[in-house]
C-alpha cells in the first residue's frame, strides 16, 4: 500500500517557512500571513463542502474569532497571541454548537442562506454596538506568545511563525480526521444521506460535528488575522463580502487535499494584489475571469491539477 506523503510534506513546509521567514522582507511576511490565515478558514469550509454543504456565512465565525482576540486586549489587557487563537476557536465553536443544532436540519440553498442570515445578524449587532466601536471597530496589539514577551521588532515574524505552525497543525489534524471513520462519512453523506442512515450513522450528528470543527478553524483564522492587522471591525469580518471571499477560495481550491485551501488562498491573494495594483477599477473582474477559467478547465479546483498529472504519469 502506497504511503500517504501529506504529513511529511506538511512538516517539511512548516519547518521551511518558519526558517525562511527570518530572511523575508516585511511585505512578504504580511502576504504569507494573510494567505495562511485565509487557508485555515477555508480548510474548515472544505470539510463542509466534502459533506455536500456550502456555508455563505463563514464570516460569522471568522468575526467571532477576531473580536474574541480584540476583546481580550481591549477589555482585559490580555495581549497573548496564543491565548487569542484559543479564545477565538472556543467562542466560534461554542456558538456553532448552538446554531448547528438548527442548521444541521437543512440542506442546499436553505443551509447556505440561513448561515448567511446569521452572519448578517451579527454584522448588524456590531454596527449598532458602540461599546465595540460600531462601524469603526477597535485596535489591538500583540505583546506576548504563550506568556513569553515579544520584542517590538520581532512581532510581525512571531505572528507569521504562529500562523505557519497553527496552519500546519490544523491541516495535519484535518488530514487525520479525513482518514477517520467520521471523516469518511462526510463524502458518503454528500453522495447519499439515506444509505448512511441505513448503515446506522446519524447524518445530523456528523453534519453538526463538521460544522463546529469548521467554525473553530474560522475562529482561529479570524483571531490570527486580527493580531496581524492590529484592528477589528464588522465590515472586514462579518459582512457578506468576507464570507463570499471564503466561498470563492474554497471553490478555487477544491477539496482533494488539506493543502488545497492554502494553495487556493495563495493564488487568490496573489491575483487580488496584482489586480488591485494594475487594474484598481476592475480588479473584481480579474478575479472573476480567474474563477471562470478554473471552473472551465479545472472543475475540481486547483488541486485537481496534481491528480491529472498523476494519471498522465
SS3 of 214-253: HHHHHHHHHHHHHHHHCEECCCCCCCHHHHHHHHHHHHHH
**CA atoms within 13 Å, Cβ hemisphere of 218:** 38
Residue bearing the bigger pLDDT, 173 or 310:
173
C-alpha cell belonging to residue 170 = 490544523
| pLDDT tens column, 118-130 | 999 999 999 999 9
Q: Please report whether residue 279 resides in a domain.
A: no
- The CA-based angle 73-74-79, given to 5 degrees, is 10
Phi, psi of 256 (to 5 degrees): -75, -20
* Residues 43 and 261: beta-carbon distance below 8 Å: yes
| pLDDT tens column, 81-96 | 999 999 999 999 999 9
Q: Please report whether residue 254 resides in a domain.
A: no
Residue 313 banded pLDDT, cuts 50, 70, 90: very low
pLDDT of residue 49: 92
Phi, psi of 35 (to 5 degrees): -60, -45
- The CA-based angle 98-99-101, given to 5 degrees, is 75
Q: Please report whether residue 87 resides in a domain.
A: yes
How far apart, in whole angstroms, are the C-alpha atoms of residue 6 and residue 53? 25
Beta-carbon count within 10 A of 141 CB? 11
Total tally of structural domains belonging to the chain: 1
Q: Please report whether residue 284 resides in a domain.
A: no
* Residue percentage of the chain with pLDDT more than 70: 97
pLDDT of residue 94: 97
Q: Which residues contact 264 (CB under 8 A, 6 or more apart)?
A: 39, 42, 249, 250, 252, 253, 254, 301, 302, 303
pLDDT of residue 310: 53
Burial class (CB within 10 angstroms; exposed 0-12, middle 13-18, buried 19+) of 20:
exposed
Looking at every residue in the chain, the average pLDDT score rounds to 90
Q: Which residues contact 128 (CB under 8 A, 6 or more apart)?
A: 134
Q: Please report whether residue 219 resides in a domain.
A: yes
Q: Please report whether residue 292 resides in a domain.
A: no
For residue 41, the surrounding DSSP H or E stretch is: helix 26-50
Mean pLDDT of 97-116: 92
C-alpha cell belonging to residue 182 = 467520521
How far apart, in whole angstroms, are the C-alpha atoms of residue 106 and residue 117? 14
| pLDDT tens column, 286-308 | 888 888 888 888 878 888 777 65
| pLDDT tens column, 45-74 | 999 999 999 999 999 999 999 999 999 999
Q: Which residues contact 133 (CB under 8 A, 6 or more apart)?
A: 232, 233
Candidates 221, 204, 201; CA nearest to 92 is 221
pTM of the model: 0.93
Q: Please report whether residue 168 resides in a domain.
A: yes
Mean pLDDT of 172-201: 89
Q: Cell 489591538, residue? A: 140
For residue 145, the surrounding DSSP H or E stretch is: strand 144-145
How far apart, in whole angstroms, are the C-alpha atoms of residue 229 and residue 226? 5
pLDDT of residue 147: 86
Q: Please report whether residue 170 resides in a domain.
A: yes
Domain carrying residue 150 = 6-241
Amino acid at each position: 500500500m502506497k504511503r500517504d506523503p501529506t504529513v511529511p510534506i506538511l512538516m517539511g513546509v512548516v519547518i521551511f517557512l518558519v526558517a525562511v521567514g527570518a530572511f523575508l522582507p516585511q511585505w512578504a511576511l504580511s502576504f504569507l500571513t494573510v494567505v495562511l490565515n485565509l487557508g485555515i478558514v477555508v480548510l474548515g469550509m472544505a470539510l463542509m463542502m466534502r459533506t455536500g454543504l456550502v456555508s455563505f456565512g463563514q464570516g460569522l465565525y471568522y468575526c467571532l474569532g477576531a473580536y474574541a482576540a480584540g476583546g481580550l486586549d481591549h477589555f482585559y489587557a490580555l495581549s497573548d497571541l496564543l491565548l487569542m487563537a484559543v479564545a477565538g476557536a472556543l467562542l466560534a465553536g461554542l456558538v456553532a454548537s448552538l446554531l448547528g443544532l438548527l442548521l444541521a436540519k437543512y440542506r442546499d440553498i436553505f443551509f447556505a442562506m440561513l448561515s448567511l442570515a446569521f452572519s448578517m445578524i451579527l454584522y448588524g449587532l456590531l454596527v449598532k454596538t458602540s461599546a465595540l466601536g460600531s462601524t469603526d471597530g477597535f485596535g489591538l496589539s500583540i505583546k506576548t506568545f504563550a506568556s513569553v514577551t515579544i520584542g517590538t521588532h520581532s512581532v510581525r515574524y512571531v505572528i507569521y511563525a504562529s500562523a505557519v505552525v497553527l496552519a500546519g497543525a490544523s491541516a495535519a489534524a484535518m488530514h487525520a480526521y479525513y482518514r477517520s471513520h467520521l471523516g469518511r462519512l462526510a463524502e458518503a453523506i454528500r453522495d447519499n444521506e439515506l444509505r448512511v442512515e441505513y448503515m446506522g450513522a446519524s447524518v445530523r450528528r456528523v453534519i453538526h460535528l463538521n460544522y463546529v470543527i469548521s467554525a473553530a478553524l474560522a475562529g482561529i483564522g479570524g483571531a490570527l488575522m486580527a493580531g496581524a492587522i492590529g484592528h477589528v471591525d464588522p465590515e472586514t469580518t462579518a459582512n457578506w463580502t468576507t464570507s463570499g471571499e471564503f466561498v470563492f477560495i474554497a471553490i478555487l481550491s477544491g477539496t482533494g487535499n488539506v493543502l488545497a485551501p492554502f494553495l487556493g488562498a495563495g493564488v487568490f491573494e496573489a491575483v487580488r494584489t496584482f489586480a488591485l495594483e494594475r487594474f484598481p477599477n476592475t480588479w473584481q473582474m480579474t478575479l472573476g475571469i480567474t474563477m471562470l477559467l478554473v471552473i472551465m478547465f479545472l472543475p475540481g479546483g486547483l488541486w485537481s491539477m496534481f491528480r491529472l498529472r498523476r494519471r498522465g504519469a
